Amino acid sequence: KAGSVNQLGRILGYRSRVHPGWSVRQLLNGAQPFTMERLRALCEFLGYPISEILKYRVPRRRALNHVHNQFTAHEL
């Protein structure tokens, strides 16, 4: 529900008046990096232990390669 995502965006500190949930969507899709502080706030909001989330952490180099590959795949 859009209202819930916008509320979460405000809780996480995103400042857009119109679409604070946009950054949350980007974050959840893996398209935007975020701080550990925001990850903790997200875990608290969801009631999910951060230790479970960190099991799926992607190394920075791998994440950057993924973004680069997505970008170059669209160039023809």
Whole-angstrom distance, CA of residue 23 vs CA of residue 28: 9
Choice between 45 and 57, residue whose per-residue pLDDT is larger: 45
Give residue-wise pLDDT tens across range 3-50. 688 888 888 888 877 787 888 888 887 777 788 898 898 899 889 999
Long-range residue pairs from 23-32, CB within 8 A, at least 24 positions apart, any chain = 30/58, 30/63, 30/66, 31/67
Whole-angstrom distance, CA of residue 76 vs CA of residue 64: 21
**H helix count then E strand count, the chain:** 5, 0
